[in-house]
Amino acid sequence: MKKLLNKRIIVGLVGVIAVVAFFSFKNGDDRNFQLAKNLDIFNAIVKELDMFYVDTIDPNKTIREGIDNMLLSLDPYTEYFPEEDQSELEQMVKGSFGGIGSLITYDVKMKRSMIAEPFENTPAAKVGLKAGDILLEIDGKDLAGKNNAEVSQMLRGEAGTSFKLKIERPNEKGGRTPMEFDIVRESILTPPIPYSTLMENNVGYISLSTFSGNPSKDFKRALLDLKKQGATSLVIDLRNNGGGLLDEAVEIANYFLPRGKVIVTTKGKIKQASNTYKTLREPLDLDIPIAVLVNSGTASASEILSGSLQDLDRAVIVGNRTFGKGLVQVPRTLPYGGTMKVTTSKYYIPSGRCVQAIDYKHRNEDGSVGTIPDSLTKVFHTVAGREVRDGGGVMPDIVVEQEKLPNILYYLMRDNLIFNYATQYCLKHPTIPSPEKFEVTDADYEDFKAMVKKADFKYDQQSEKILKTLKEAAEFEGYMTDASEEFTALEKKLNHNLDRDLDYFSKDIKPMIASEIIKRYYFQRGGIIQQLKDDNALKAALKILNDQAKYKEILSTPVAKK
């Protein structure tokens, strides 16, 4: 009944409220009449439900669901933030929020949240919270049954406010030790440059994690520092960088491009939404060779930076196709402390293309949206005449196939077995070698395997599922009699064998264990160092930067085919 109620409310909402906040129309205009008419209908429906519906409705919940579903019928990025959710919006825009500075995860068996990763130099790390700490109470309020979002909201608050946190910490004896902490919240800033270093052959490396806040200043410092150390080429890592502020992307692009270059153009319905963004300052380095690492998590402002450097033939892009977010949002103030992040324009990078991939205007019958097929994308050209396409993110100049993780690894992580092993490992090892030198030994891995077996670990094998489906199809189509022996033999070969799978996939599981352990001692920076040890995309970037002839060939005017 509730679903039916929500659907009826949504019908009254669709296409109404969002537009009213921004546009006005002439008296007597049919569009103006339709807006007023539907708002009256919606208002009447809510009042009638409140008075006559058999159960008491929660106006906040009912209307919020209606608003969310109305906005969902538009594009994926237009969102409403009521007054109590402003900290979430602030984090998106400023890259900061009031809190303790820690990721939390949920333990399904205990039905409680626990500390997953405290960030360096934050209140969580300063008071001594550790990964694996189980969250029991906040200011005396029991957290049992609360999900991660609810617990996270309780941990956040204004910088300078304090609270008492009660936890249980796993101990070496296999039990849990209760502990209490008095924590003062601080303004938590997501580090825009979690790691930078000088690699072999004088290649500088900068990991840029966000465009929120003011990352261009941190990037400039890291770049100049690397150049002082002797960097003669540069890797910019934008993988899993979901974007942020457009101006910051333009500013960083300006470090490598001449003054006066058009980086991005926005086009919207109203004049204020249409702008051209150019480089305004003198560059820092016009000649340093650059490779930019991207993947499917590279989005928005990250695509502006990588796409503009590609369109202007200033960098070689390496990795996987980017996410494809070609829309721009701005916050609009609403009554009662609310804010709406609304899509006001599309953006176009120097070649003239828009990288928007999700075709939100053409929905499937079930309301879902797909991506624009490659066959419908259009060809554009870089300054040098190289072909690039719109409608599907930024396609790298050098594509590096993303490694597929084995099925067993997903279940080991889902059941927190790698996480729990790292917690126990840290109890036995007060210190470990530096991230560059640390490795999971064969003895460590045997301990991990023993823990997994003791936990009665179960996981789905895709091959068994597919075989079962094939067997059912063979029986349905009458082939089973002739193929029964072959199926029996195949079933024996695909028999579930945990020992065999843990050994066979050890090369994939060991690095994940190492990463989880290293982060306990060296935080986010250590995790990145571990990731880069055997990174195929980084290897491809280093290879092209160390082959200047090939580098220049990729960025040069294509030779006409005879």
Residue 446, classified by CB atoms within 10 Å of its CB into exposed (0-12), middle (13-18) or buried (19+), is exposed
The burial class, CB within 10 Å (0-12 / 13-18 / 19+), for 401 is exposed
> Among 160, 139, 169, 159, which residue's Cα sits nearest to residue 151?
139
Q: Is 37 exposed, middle or buried (0-12, 13-18, 19+ CB in 10 A)?
A: exposed
- Single out the catalytic residue among 325, 345, 397, 515: 325
From CA 318, how far away is CA 383, in angstroms rounded?
19
The token pair that represents 173 in the structure block = 């004896």
Catalytic residue list contains 300:
yes
* Rounded (5°) CA angle 99-104-107: 150
Alpha carbon 500 to its chain centroid, in Å, reads 33
Find out whether 66 and 12 touch, Cβ atoms under 8 Å: yes
Which among 531, 520, 325 has a CA at the least distance from the CA of 432? 520
Q: Tell me the residue length of the chain.
A: 562
Torsion angle (degrees, nearest 10) of CA 146, 150, 151, 157 = -150
> Catalytic annotation on 325?
yes
Q: Which residues contact 404 (CB under 8 A, 6 or more apart)?
A: none
Residues 6+ apart with CB under 8 A from 321: 294, 296, 392, 393, 394, 395, 396, 399
**Torsion angle defined by CA atoms of residues 158, 164, 168 and 172, in that order, rounded to the nearest 10 degrees:** 90
CA distance 117 to 121: 12
Pick the catalytic residue: 133, 311, 415, 535? 311
- Cα(83)–Cα(340) distance, integer angstroms: 11
* Contact by Cβ (8 Å): 328, 346: yes
Calpha distance 224→209 (Å, rounded) = 18
The structure tokens 């599922």 sit at: 465
Rounded to whole angstroms, the Cα distance separating 537 from 68 reads 38
Are 208 and 265 in contact, with CB atoms under 8 Å apart?
A: no
Residues 221, 198 contacting (CB under 8 angstroms): no
Point out the catalytic residue in the list 102, 216, 233, 300: 300
What whole-number distance in Å separates Cα of residue 45 and Cα of residue 57?
A: 12
CA distance 299 to 209: 11
Check if 133 is active-site. Answer: no
Q: Which residues are catalytic?
A: 300, 311, 325
